[in-house]
Amino acid sequence: MSETPKKLHIKTYGCQMNVYDSERMAEAMGAKGYELTDDPAQADMVLLNTCHIREKAAEKVYSDLGRLKPFKDAKPDLKIGVAGCVAQAEGEEIRRRMPLVDLVVGSQNYHRLPDMVQAVERGEKPVDTEFPLEDKFDHLPSRPQAARPTAFLTVQEGCDKFCAFCVVPYTRGAEISRPGGKVLTEAQKLVDKGVREITLLGQNVNGYHGEGPDGDWGLARLVRELAKIDGLERIRYTTSHPNDMDDALIAAHAEERKLMPYLHLPVQSGSDRILKAMNRKHTAEDYLRLIEKIRAARPDMMLSGDFIVGFPGETDQDFADTMELIRAVNYGAAFSFKYSPRPGTPAADRKDVVPAEVADARLQELQALVTLQQRSAQEGMVGREVGVLFEKPGRLEGQWVGKSDYLQAVHVRGEGLRPGILARVRITGTAPNSLAGELVADF
Ligand code: SAH
Ligand code: SF4
Ligand code: F3S
């Protein structure tokens, strides 16, 4: 009689890099006989892959751990693990606060997860948050099947920029780029399994500097090499820092058909005073110039950004400068956050905090402007023809959903559509969070 496979439930918080890491951990555990389940009640092991970026994100992990208590009471050999950036930042402290946690694995040690699970089976409670000398990617199993036509691929990790508000340099460590050859091999394997769009991931992905067979490769070179892979139709990358947006990468946007015209380029604030205090190392004017250059190379480029309101010392004028910058750029989408002081970061020590109600009001005002811009970007699509890569059936009979070149969800009816089909679509209408379209030609 064969043993029934054990079940693993993974909950992922935070950024796309965590999504990628969760997949890799699932594969590593798959090799040890664990199958994924969506239902924590069915699980033999629950793994929380956590985010430390804002206080809310980190506290959510503790409340979710509290909610696992009845599961553990009902099934005492249920294993509970904490991975990701809270694990990296808080380590042993997590087990002090939540004794039901069996293991804590930092963001660079996932290749050790199966051994740690064995240690738990022996009655140990391992915590591993050292930054290891070896590369975790070399020690994780190669990626099996891809069920979807799109995939994430981490090419760069960590950050050396030390923005005054941000925990990432502490939770992900120093900037490291994976060698170009290894990225190409992983991409080729994904394409062989049916992937047609790859999003290259990194906390500072455009600061990528990987070792290539003929010297150092920047992101532009990596993109151009990836574009040579037959069957790979679309390349995206995220997240970028304005200071690493070099001419070679801008030129790749002008010339490389497979590189999509959508760029997430966070600026955080439109006030030079605040940008300086944030240690962003550029001015609002630098950013606007850069956007002009990018749009000169690729006129249809759609931009998205990240903003923080209520950074310590932010005045009404600083906030007005941010609104002005948003008006000048005209974003297709933007993500905005109320400043959250993070332990260990320089800004957390500042006493000139912005009152919560002021920050709340600014956030609402900013989001209202961004919503208007987003809506007008959606409406501006009506009548245009775009590529759509189909991903899954829609809710209505015969309807399919895919993503446009600009990363918008598009609903289309069509015979013979299936995941992985890339087709030309004319946009016919808009809904709050998606577009409707019709096929222009056979695919
Ligand atoms: N590497 C990316 C961002 C990583 S974090 C970059 O450089 O842009 C994602 C976003 O979270 C940031 O762009 C920022 O807008 C927001 N963020 C980071 N730390 C924050 C904090 N302490 N409080 C509020 N928002 C924060
Ligand atoms: Fe954080 Fe700044 Fe690094 Fe982005 S560039 S990860 S915001 S420190
Ligand atoms: Fe969060 Fe870590 Fe990503 S702090 S945003 S999960 S790098």
Q: Is 203 in the pocket of ligand 2 (CB under 6 A)?
A: yes
Nearest to 102 by CA among 45, 179, 62: 45
Q: How far apart are CA 278 and CA 268, in angstroms?
A: 9
Residue 245 has pLDDT above 50, yes or no: yes
| Ligand 3, atom 1, residue with closest C-alpha | 51
Q: What is the pLDDT of residues 373-423, one digit of tens each?
A: 999 999 999 999 999 999 999 998 899 999 999 999 999 998 889 999 999
Helix axes 284-297, 316-329, angle to 10 degrees: 10
Topology at the third CATH level for domain 136-379: pyruvate-formate lyase- activating enzyme (3.80.30)
Closest ligand 3 atom to Cα of 53:
4
Q: Assign domain 385-439 to its CATH architecture.
A: Beta Barrel (2.40)
Instruction: Say what percent of the chain tops pLDDT 90.
Output: 91
Q: How far apart are CA 378 and CA 3, in angstroms?
A: 52
| Sign, Cα dihedral of 68, 72, 78, 80 | positive
Q: What are the pLDDT digits (tens) for 32-70?
A: 999 999 999 999 999 999 999 999 999 999 999 999 999
Dist. CA 240 → ligand 2 center (Å)? 9
**CA torsion 248→161→240→291, rounded to 10°?**
-70
Pick the CATH number of 6-128 from 3.40.50.12160, 3.40.1440.60, 3.40.630.30, 3.20.20.60: 3.40.50.12160
Q: Does 144 score more than 70 pLDDT?
A: no
Q: How far apart are CA 41 and CA 222, in angstroms?
A: 43
Helices (H), 193-270: 219-226, 247-255
- The domain spans of the chain are 6-128, 136-379, 385-439
pLDDT tens profile 164-219: 999 999 999 999 999 999 999 999 999 999 999 999 999 999 999 999 999 999 99
CA distance 12 to 70: 21
Residues with CB under 6 A from ligand 1: 53-54, 165-166, 168, 203-204, 239, 241, 266, 268, 306, 308, 337, 339-340, 342
pLDDT single digits (tens) 351-384: 999 999 999 999 999 999 999 999 999 999 999 9
DSSP H helices, 98-162, are 113-121
Is residue 159 lining ligand 2, measured as CB closer than 6 Å? yes
Pocket of ligand 3 from Cβ distances under 6 Å: 14-15, 17-18, 51-53, 84-85, 167-168, 171-172
Mean residue pLDDT across the chain: 95
pLDDT digits (tens, 9 = 90+) for 91-127: 999 999 999 999 999 999 999 999 999 999 999 999 9
Q: How far, in Å, from the CA of 163 to the mean position of ligand 2?
A: 5
Per-residue model confidence (pLDDT) at position 432: 84
